[in-house]
Amino acid sequence: MQERYILELHKDNVNLKIALSANDSGHAQAQAADIARALVSDSYNIAYGKQRETKLSRLFRDLANNNFDYKLCSLWNGSKVNNTPCVYALGKRHYIRNLIIRYLNIADDGHTAKPKCDCRDCINPYHFKHSKEKNEKISCGDLKMLVAYRGQGARVTQIAEAFNVHRSTVYRELRIDGDT
């Protein structure tokens, strides 16, 4: 049975309380540290108690319990900015996919997480692809495959068809990769 906790986060004189459910106090502490890192808070306190569950606390619960199915999209039904899922917490806007990347402690190195399922509202971490730029058509991993295909003699039109992009995108990526 899961125990109920209240996580209070602090940043620049702004406080936020989040409902937390965990198997035990060690699990609650681990979740609290992950959530504090994801929301870039200065400090946090955790205590026993009940707190109203919000969309953000449900997201963190799902992440802690790995409640995501590889085959299904998990749709965000909260706030959006430019059709991108986001949440406002501790006086700052956090894009949900980047928040998840920070929660999972995956070094983002300036990369942006996008859903490879092409569903704008999807926040399923299994559906993430990482891009160097906001409007990038080919992800970092796909670029290596693109270069490998080209090295094996595949035609640009074949590569473009395989990655579902225009052939000019393939030419541009090959030129950029050749410059580095």
* Structure confidence at residue 132 (pLDDT): 62
The string of pLDDT tens digits covering residues 6-31 is 999 999 999 999 999 998 999 999 99
* Structure confidence at residue 178 (pLDDT): 45
* Structure confidence at residue 179 (pLDDT): 43
Mean pLDDT, the chain, as a whole number? 85
- The mean pLDDT of 162-175, rounded to a whole number, is 82
- The mean pLDDT of 143-155, rounded to a whole number, is 76
The SS3 call for residue 120 is: coil
The string of pLDDT tens digits covering residues 35-70 is 999 999 999 999 999 999 999 999 999 998 889 988
d(CA 127, CA 71): 9
pLDDT at 131 over 70: no
The most confident of the ranges 120-129, 155-164, 168-177 is: 120-129
- The mean pLDDT of 115-120, rounded to a whole number, is 86
Number of H helices, E strands in the chain: 6, 8
List domains and CATH numbers for the chain: 3-64 (no CATH), 80-131 (no CATH), 140-179 (1.10.10)
Provide DSSP, 50-89. Answer: -----HHHHHHHHHHTT---TTS--B--S-EETTEEEEEE
- The mean pLDDT of 89-111, rounded to a whole number, is 84
Helix, strand, coil distribution of the chain in percent, nearest 5:
40, 25, 35
d(CA 122, CA 133): 19
Q: What percent of the chain has pLDDT over 90?
A: 45
74 — pLDDT class (breaks 50, 70, 90): very high
* Structure confidence at residue 160 (pLDDT): 83
The helix (H) or strand (E) run that includes residue 129 is: strand 128-131
pTM higher than the cut 0.85: no
